Amino acid sequence: MTDPQATPGAVAAMAGAARLLSRRAGSDVELSEPEDLGGSGRSVVARARMAQNPFSDRRSVVIKQYAPPSPDDEPIASDPYRYEVASCQLFTALPSDVRPSPVIIAHDPEQRLLVLEDLGRSMTLADKLFGPDREAARICLLGWARGLGRMQAATAGREGDFGALLRRLGEKVRRDPIADQARAALGGLPELLADAVGVEVPEMAVLEARGGIRLLGGTGFRAFSPSDTCPDNNLVTSRGVRFVDFEWGCFRDVVLDAAYVRVPFPGCAASFALPSVVREQMLDAWRAEVAPVWPELDDTELLESRLTDAHLLWVWWSTWLLLPLVLHRDRPIGRDAGRSPRISTALRHYWQGFAAAATDRPASVELAAAVVAALDDRFPDAPSELPVFPAFRSAER
């Protein structure tokens, strides 16, 4: 049975998944009631009910199907479908108590399709942050931080396994997709700031920012990263926060993801501020999960130095990506203006937040003040303060 409201993409994905599961089971597996869950321009994500399945007690599955590459598409260095499959396979092999994602049930390279465990009708972390319940939002953020640390601890030392899974799928192992962008930002942002808003970047500020380069290579603190841990890509389930969307998955220094808390969520559509006490609680929760694997990160001085480098790297990266956009029109970062701040306000907050947190980087603090002043002059009608997420806007704050 097909829901008349189902999109053609969801119906096609369901039909492909039914063929795949039937072929694997050696008997008919029927799926019905396809429900479009969104996806992106390059993929369809749908839920389907298992109407007939003699080999499993599953009641439903989630299907993700990637569109085939188009000749008109810009060339990409790697296939996101293969990275999604390899990431899910890596996680499926982990014990259930540390597994950060849905189990992969089947995949078909010809159809570019995955069949995944259905985690239920879960809200996203973003939904909680934009909801009315302050305490529920705080608990979910701590769950996100613990889940991130648990995922990193569980995948430490498994970079070779991930590479083997990719090669088996016919894919080369790539480095962190953010790394090249970050290096481009470190090289090009001084000229961009000078041309766009008239801010000259002191040479010492460039040297301070280059401290983050050490996080982009082969450090001793590497683990799996989805590369995109924005609030929209995390599901709040009865078993805790679960990560989804691994098409840009890679191995990189764990502190790069932990520093998301301090920016917060750099470049994400949902990039509002977090109360300082919640940020510190999140870092404590993350640290408790990773310290048993990397005891060095329990050294406050060492951890703070690395977090500061990562924080500054994200600020430069975000400015490199967003400043050219705001010069055309000061619009929200994401498509939904109700759930996304204006770019100029977010950039002000990124630089102000770093200046407040990093008193041991004096040239960068000076640069931050100059960037904020330039943004104030260029966009005088924009809000100067980035509000916290709606869940924390109560009078109790």
Domains and CATH numbers, the chain: 8-117 (3.30.200.20), 123-392 (3.90.1200)
**Cis status, amide bond into 264, omega within 30 of 0:** yes
Q: Are 11 and 34 in contact (CB under 8 A)?
A: yes
Q: Where are the beta strands (DSSP E) in the chain?
A: 30-40, 43-52, 60-66, 104-108, 113-117, 123-124, 222-225, 234-237, 240-243, 250-253
Angle between helices 362-378 and 177-197 (to 10 degrees): 60
What is the model's pLDDT at position 397? 41
Q: Of all residues in the chain, what percent are helix, strand and coil, respectively (each to 5)?
A: 50, 15, 35
Q: Are 231 and 121 in contact (CB under 8 A)?
A: no
**Tokens representing residue 296 in the block:** 């060095």
Gap between the Cα atoms of 78 and 174, Å rounded? 7
Pick from 115, 131, 111: nearest CA to 123 = 131
What is the model's pLDDT at position 396? 45
Q: Are 311 and 359 in contact (CB under 8 A)?
A: no
What is the model's pLDDT at position 76? 67
| Total residue count of the chain as it appears in this document | 397
Q: What is the DSSP letter of 75?
A: P
What is the model's pLDDT at position 52? 76
Beta bridge partners of 392: none
Gap between the Cα atoms of 200 and 374, Å rounded? 11
Gap between the Cα atoms of 63 and 114, Å rounded? 6
- Does the CA dihedral 251-255-216-234 come out positive or negative? positive
**Tokens representing residue 376 in the block:** 């104030």
For tokens 């916290």, name the residue.
388
Per-residue confidence in pLDDT tens, the chain, 397 aa: 555 567 888 999 999 999 999 998 888 889 999 999 876 668 899 999 998 776 677 889 999 999 887 666 666 668 999 999 999 999 999 998 889 999 999 999 999 999 999 998 889 999 999 999 999 999 999 999 999 999 999 999 999 999 999 999 999 887 788 888 999 999 999 999 999 999 999 999 999 999 898 899 888 999 999 988 899 989 998 888 899 889 889 999 999 999 999 999 998 999 999 999 999 999 999 999 999 999 999 999 999 999 999 999 999 999 999 999 998 899 999 988 889 999 999 999 999 999 998 889 999 999 999 999 999 999 999 888 999 999 999 744 4
Q: What is the DSSP letter of 331?
A: -
